[in-house]
Amino acid sequence: MNPHSIGFPLPDDAPAAGACIRVQRPEPGLAVVVFDPPHRSFPIFDAPLLRDLDAVLTELEGDAALRGIVFTGRRPTQFLAGADVEAIGTITDPGVVEDVVRSVHALFDRVARLAPRTVAAVGGPVPGGAFEFSMCCDRIVAVDGKSTRIGLPETMLGILPGWGGSHRLPRRVGIPIALDAILTGRLLPAKPALKRGFVDRLAHEQDLVRIASDIAMGRKKCARRSRGAWAWLVDRNPLARTLIRDRALKGVDAKARGKYPAPYAALDLVLSAPTAPQRTWAGREAKAVAELATGPVCKSLVGIFFASEAAKKLGKGPEGVEHPRPQQATVVGAGVMGAGIASALALAGVPVRLADLSSKALAGAVATHRTEVEKRRKKRRLSSHEANAAVDRLDPVAGALGMARSEFAIEAVAEVLEVKRKVLGGLAEQLPAHAILATNTSSLSVGAIAEGLPHPERVVGMHFFNPVKAMPLVEVVRGPQTSDEVVTRTCALALALGKTPVVTRDVPGFLVNRILGPYLDEAVRLFLAGAEVERVDRLMLEFGMPMGPYTLLDEVGFDIAQHAAASLHAGYGDRMAPCPGLEGLAQPHRLGRKTGLGFYKHPAPGDRKGKRAVAEDLASFQTGRGVRSLSDAELVDRLVLAMVGEAARCLEEQVVESEQVLDLASVFGTGFAPFRGGLWSHARKTGYDRIAARMRELQQAPDIAERGAGAQRFEPTGLLS
């Protein structure tokens, strides 16, 4: 096969033909095909591998003595990582994409037609194309280990399973399970994958190829999961499919809101798969993928994917060496944030001492941790043994003694400079010189906190977002004296916790709060001028944000929002002057969801029947009605362009190293619409000149021009002017 005939370009480091796959003959009648491309640390289906697969299949097809074939990776826990996403991201011609899909289908169909019994022996990540290839084999044997994850995540990249997965998976496991897997993009661990029929047998790592070989040669039986009558009662029943579609469509609408075309396309393809003739599979999937892969949503999601992959390298040293997670950690402060951080550490396998002067706070933190562990145990994400170990790894300590063995300490105490200095100073006296001292500050200067501490090069910001267990981003803040090694080790810990790190400069608000501040402040100003809370929240949901600004303010808490706004004002002057309206709203009984009242009235905790409603007294806080005449587009522009203007300043000041990092942080930190590719990607696609012109129009709007302080946020800066 000519590699260019499949549409994927050959990479610059492509090896010679035949170098990507080894065929071993351990015994007569058995071939073990090993994917082992020398130019990839983790094999993927790129042009060289597909080229060599074509040649290997020709060899196997011509061997009449073969009785069994095993396809496996260079190691039991390293099979294949699916398709070449980078190549997909560069293709803009739908015709080329369609040719790629049809060519790979032709290869995979040859695997399915091989006369000998075929077994895929897989382990580690088995996503997308790797799983689609495996389903072409007669049986799939997977490593029974923590690293095994198998599924079809393509909708997370704005496409759908196009190499047979949209048809083979529903035929293998049935429409309901296949729809759940494809629409969520979830990768299943080994045991759930076996239970749902994704794989046919599990094996210990050291036995994987041996057991797969025995199955291929007929020495071991391996029954395939049969759906029996259910295949007719559900998969081929038009009424059942209609009911399934209606229910699934509601779920897709709730999550995608019409902004992500891939789940809608996948839904119809999967529902009709059981009755579609195999000769039509390639054409059906090729047409769907061609349209999706060349569309703007896919390009945006692929961009975020690569930014996320790049962030994973932040935890590696200069030689690419990964830093091990600490053997012992300390968290000081058992409030909401400290408790969340300590729980995350314990769940990630790090023994942690959680220190606080309040026994009540410690008891609450331990109870919350136990609840989270129990949830995971019930969902079988943890075995009983693992759950007990996770509970035992969190050690509550009254006071701050017994920390001398900790390699990593994180303070999560009150957002007061002297308090944080005192806590870190006490830790510095106890901990060894190589231990890292991290502050979870959201607004204070890391450099100021480090002043006067011994070895200030080991002081770093590690800003988690609330709630810790749900928010994927961690800002790693490099202080003026923070060493490169400390930044790398901190990023490595964030990654070990399952978080995505971004490295920022030590400036007020760092990155996320700095770009989010103007957005929320503008929302409060619109409210005071008469904007309807539900209307604005709805508009931002339609724009693609996960929640509207007033809902977000209720979630954050008015007191926290006020504190962050004051910090930004102190750091940046009049441009960040906060609207005084929030002060009037914020009262001890009215701080947002935590008090049950904010812009909305919230049901009491535990009240599942209660519904959120707009607070009845909001009109009494509004001082005008002028903005009610603004169009939907004008309201959205005021909110979004307030963020864009500050993002431009962040890039000019090199708060983060690139536009890609800013996009990643905006999506993972603020929830900015992923289908738009991130905040700066949205600005670039909209056009800098167009945005600058619109910002100047907003700056001259009477109500903005008259406000004085705060109007400067709409003044286009260098990157936009």
Please say if the pLDDT value at position 366 is more than 80. Answer: yes
- In the set 167, 369, 463, 682, the catalytic residue is 463
Give the length of the chain: 721
Give me the residue spans of the domains in the chain.
Answer: 3-294, 329-505, 512-655+687-714
Indicate the pLDDT class of residue 507, thresholds 50, 70 and 90.
very high
- What pLDDT is recorded for position 304? 95
Give 31 or 627, the one with higher predicted confidence: 31
If you classify domain 329-505 with CATH, what class do you get? alpha beta
Please say if the pLDDT value at position 220 is more than 90. Answer: yes
Instruction: Tell me the per-residue pLDDT of 445-492, one tens digit each, with 9 for 90 and over.
Output: 999 999 999 999 999 999 999 899 999 999 999 999 999 999 999 999
Instruction: Tell me the per-residue pLDDT of 70-99, one tens digit each, with 9 for 90 and over.
Output: 999 999 999 998 888 888 888 889 999 999
- What pLDDT is recorded for position 8? 67
- Mean pLDDT across the stretch 695-701? 93
Mean of the per-residue pLDDT values of the chain: 92
Q: Which of 122-131, 318-327, 699-708 shows the highest mean pLDDT?
A: 122-131
Rounded to whole angstroms, how far apart are CA atoms 9 and 45? 12
Please say if the pLDDT value at position 226 is more than 80. Answer: no
Please say if the pLDDT value at position 685 is more than 70. Answer: yes
The position carrying tokens 């590699």 is: 3
pLDDT > 70: percent of the chain? 98
SS (HEC) of 426-480: HHHHHCCCCCEEEECCCCCCHHHHHCCCCCHHHEEEEEECCCCCCCCEEEEEECC
- Mean pLDDT across the stretch 645-655? 96
Architecture of the structural domain at 512-655+687-714: Orthogonal Bundle (1.10)
Instruction: Tell me the per-residue pLDDT of 561-574, one tens digit each, with 9 for 90 and over.
Output: 998 999 999 999 99
Do β-strands 149-151 and 125-127 pair in parallel, antiparallel, or remain unpaired?
Answer: parallel
| 569 a catalytic residue | no
pTM for the complete prediction? 0.90
Torsion of Cα atoms, 288 then 289 then 291 then 294, to 10°: 170
- What pLDDT is recorded for position 401? 67
Strand partners for 23: 33
- Mean pLDDT across the stretch 178-204? 95
Which of 120, 122, 23, 31 lies closest to 68, judged by CA? 31
- Mean pLDDT across the stretch 43-71? 95
Indicate the pLDDT class of residue 139, thresholds 50, 70 and 90.
very high
Residue 265, both tokens: 């396309």
Homologous superfamily of 3-294 in CATH? 2-enoyl-CoA Hydratase; Chain A, domain 1 (3.90.226.10)
Please say if the pLDDT value at position 229 is more than 80. Answer: no
Rounded to whole angstroms, how far apart are CA atoms 154 and 140? 20
Which amino acid appears at position 671 of this protein?
A: G
- What pLDDT is recorded for position 397? 93
Question: By mean pLDDT, which of 7-11, 20-24, 163-167 is the weakest?
Answer: 7-11
Instruction: Tell me the per-residue pLDDT of 274-317, one tens digit each, with 9 for 90 and over.
Output: 889 999 999 999 999 999 999 999 999 999 999 999 999 999 88
Residue 555, both tokens: 């979630």
Please say if the pLDDT value at position 400 is more than 70. Answer: no
Instruction: Tell me the per-residue pLDDT of 543-561, one tens digit each, with 9 for 90 and over.
Output: 999 999 999 999 999 998 9
DSSP notation for 220-269: S--PPP--TTHIIIIIT-HHHHHHHHHHHHHHHHHHHTTS-HHHHHHHHH
**At residue 529, what are phi and psi to the nearest 5 degrees?**
-85, 5
Rounded to whole angstroms, how far apart are CA atoms 527 and 533? 7
Indicate the pLDDT class of residue 626, thresholds 50, 70 and 90.
confident
pLDDT > 90: percent of the chain? 80
Indicate the pLDDT class of residue 319, thresholds 50, 70 and 90.
confident
Residue 543, both tokens: 């724009």
Which of 480, 86, 30, 19 lies closest to 212, judged by CA? 30
CB 248 within 8 A of CB 264: no
- What pLDDT is recorded for position 10? 78
Please say if the pLDDT value at position 230 is more than 70. Answer: no
Alpha helices in 529-600 (DSSP H): 533-543, 549-556, 558-572, 581-585
Which of 207, 635, 252, 191 lies closest to 381, judged by CA? 191
Rounded to whole angstroms, how far apart are CA atoms 542 and 538? 6
Instruction: Tell me the per-residue pLDDT of 519-545, one tens digit each, with 9 for 90 and over.
Output: 999 999 999 999 999 999 999 999 999
